[in-house]
């Protein structure tokens, strides 16, 4: 986990989010006794119908200059909440807010470094608006060789707070990162 004890105490419990828990349980079942499952273990038709719109599968693309992340599959809830279809796009190309893109790339980097699922939350804000959008995501590692993370299975949920049209994540004027936690996949779920 990152942050202070106060941050941890104030952090929303990812286990209370039905979509994120369903993604974790599916990922955990597919990993079996391994550190993480492979992409070939993941079959979107096996994922609960109410969860599937919130699913994203992202791949690591090792480019000569730097590591990049490309969305391979993006559920319908993602399109409506993010403001565009993510499929086939790179994180660093689609986000006009480069600070937000760097934040998302940093989360993927944490999953790669720890080889464990990572929970995070953030808030999209718009200038002069009395409404904002919160998002919670659980990024789970996938690996072809059982060692190096090369893809991610992510579940992401959203909530608009306030009156009016909330900004989408991609086109928000700014964002505020929330709590982030590395999840021990072998710890009991409380």
| 144-158 pLDDT, tens digit each | 999 999 999 999 998
Domain assignment present for residue 154? The answer is yes
103: left (phi > 0), else alpha (psi -120 to 50), else beta?
Answer: alpha
Whole-angstrom CA distances from 126 to 141, 156, 166 are 32, 20, 8
pTM above threshold 0.85: yes
CATH classification of the domain holding 143: 3.30.450.20
Q: Please tell me the distance from the alpha carbon of residue 71 to that of residue 180, in angstroms, as a whole number.
A: 21
**117: its two tokens:** 């699922």
Beta strands in 14-150 (DSSP E): 55-62, 67-74, 118-125, 131-142
Task: Compute how many other C-beta atoms are within 10 angstroms of the C-beta atom of residue 11.
Answer: 17
| 30-53 pLDDT, tens digit each | 999 999 999 999 998 999 999 999
Domain assignment present for residue 188? The answer is no
Q: Is the per-residue pLDDT at 7 higher than 60? A: no
Domain assignment present for residue 187? The answer is no
Query: Which domain, by its residues, includes 98?
Result: 5-182
């Amino acid at each position: 986990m990152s942050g202070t004890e106060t941050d941890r105490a104030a952090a929303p419990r990812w286990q209370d989010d039905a979509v994120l828990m369903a993604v974790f349980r599916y990922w955990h079942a597919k990993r079996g006794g391994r550190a993480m499952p492979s992409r070939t273990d993941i079959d979107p038709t096996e994922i609960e119908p109410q969860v599937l719109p919130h699913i994203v599968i992202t791949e690591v693309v090792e480019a000569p200059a730097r590591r990049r992340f490309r969305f391979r599959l993006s559920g319908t809830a993602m399109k409506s909440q993010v403001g565009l279809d993510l499929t086939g796009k790179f994180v660093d190309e689609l986000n006009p807010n480069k600070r937000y893109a760097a934040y998302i790339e940093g989360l993927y980097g944490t999953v790669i470094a720890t080889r464990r699922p990572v929970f995070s939350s953030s808030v999209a804000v718009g200038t002069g608006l009395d409404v904002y959008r919160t998002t919670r995501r659980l990024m789970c590692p996938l690996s072809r060789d059982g060692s190096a993370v090369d893809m991610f299975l992510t579940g992401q949920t959203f909530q608009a707070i306030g009156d009016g049209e909330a900004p989408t994540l991609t086109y928000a004027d700014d964002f505020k990162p929330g709590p982030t936690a590395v999840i021990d996949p072998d710890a009991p779920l409380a």
